[in-house]
Amino acid sequence: MPRPRFVSYAIIVRLLTMSVVWLSLLIWFLNAYRAGCGIALAVLALFALVILAAGIEQSFLHRRAIFKECVAEQDTLFDVFYNRVVMMLYQTSVALFLGVMLLVGALTFEPRQWSLLFIDLLLLTLLIPRLAKGMGEQIRDEYRYAMARHWGMWFSVVLLWGEATMVLTLSPPENYLGQRWQEVVTYGVAQPDVLCPQVAGLANVFVVGQALAMWAVQNASRVFNDPTQAVMLWVGFFTLVSFSFLVAVAYSRALIGVMARPWAMWKLPATARPKPQPDLDPDTGPDATQRESRAPGRPRTGPE
């Protein structure tokens, strides 16, 4: 019996397909200083498109799950809240927002983060088919790989988000100890070298948020009792959690999006779960219980 191969043709294809996202990010990072707004818009469209594909597949999967389990029959309420067009418009806005976060966040990546992003890509390449295989007969075939991609995406998010949060907390690249937040925002932030002014403005907001996060971690015990500094302390904690999380979600969705198949979910017929029918068997139906309760009791036999 031949031994199973660890690397198959499907894994190689999946690896090359997902590498498109990593390579696109790297090319954008290396050429942002000379790329105009037109090129930046094209890169944003690419990222938003693959993120949109992952979001639509996930939304359609949730739509069918809710439709099958919660709706007794097709009605107007379900069509309003889970309309396919409305869901696509919502996911398009989310994809554009996450695409901007990924476009801007990539400008601040360090060599360590590029290595982690590629390792995350390799892990997803190996993890998704094993998740789908592990589901076996418990998940229907048309949903198995969609659910495996969805679970793999959250594994990637936890890995990237946890690493970014730990680095900013335990080993920040900048030292803002003893400074006020005004000094950090004004003098302690290095602006990314970007040619497009719109992208440069968004990148400035991103690096200021990261600087406030590092400042908040380093000076929390010192400025917590100062009302003027405590407000920005909470802002720093918010950016510490939110910025890294959004970038992790954007990159993970982009990886999943190049393999997503939202059209497969779209073409599946949406049939509602049938209403339970009453039991018409006279011996087992609800009327049988009522007849037994109304029936006279058996007469007692024997001594009192």
Cβ count near 14 (within 10 Å): 19
Q: Mean pLDDT across the stretch 163-174?
A: 88
pLDDT score of 225: 79
What is the rounded CA–CA span in Å between residue 107 and residue 123? 24
pLDDT score of 174: 85
What is the rounded CA–CA span in Å between residue 64 and residue 154? 20
Q: Mean pLDDT across the stretch 129-140?
A: 80
| Residue 177 · residue 214 · CB < 8 Å | no
- Least confident window among 13-17, 199-203, 285-289: 285-289
CA distances from 225 to 221, 232, 253 (A): 8, 12, 40
What is the rounded CA–CA span in Å between residue 25 and residue 204? 18
Residue range 81-102, pLDDT digits in tens? 667 788 888 999 999 999 999 9
Confidence band for 201, pLDDT divided at 50, 70 and 90: very high
pLDDT score of 158: 94
Cβ count near 24 (within 10 Å): 17
| Residue 43 · residue 250 · CB < 8 Å | no
| Residue 32 · residue 192 · CB < 8 Å | yes
Helices (H), the chain: 9-31, 37-70, 76-81, 84-105, 111-135, 141-170, 181-187, 197-223, 227-257, 262-267, 286-294
Tokens 């360590």 -> residue: 112
Task: Report the length, in residues, of the chain.
Answer: 304
pLDDT, greater one: 5 or 195: 195
Q: Mean pLDDT across the stretch 70-82?
A: 62
Q: Per-residue pLDDT for 76 more than 70?
A: no
Cβ count near 206 (within 10 Å): 22
Residues sharing a CB contact under 8 Å with residue 251, sequence separation 6 or more, in sequence order: 21, 25, 102, 117, 120, 156, 160
pLDDT score of 1: 43
Amino acid at 7: V
Torsion from C-alpha of 57, 62, 67, 71, nearest 10 degrees? -160
Q: Per-residue pLDDT for 59 more than 50?
A: yes
> Against a cut of 0.85, is the pTM above it?
no
pLDDT score of 281: 47
pLDDT score of 272: 45
> 12, 9, 23: which is closest to 255 by C-alpha?
23
What is the rounded CA–CA span in Å between residue 22 and residue 91? 22
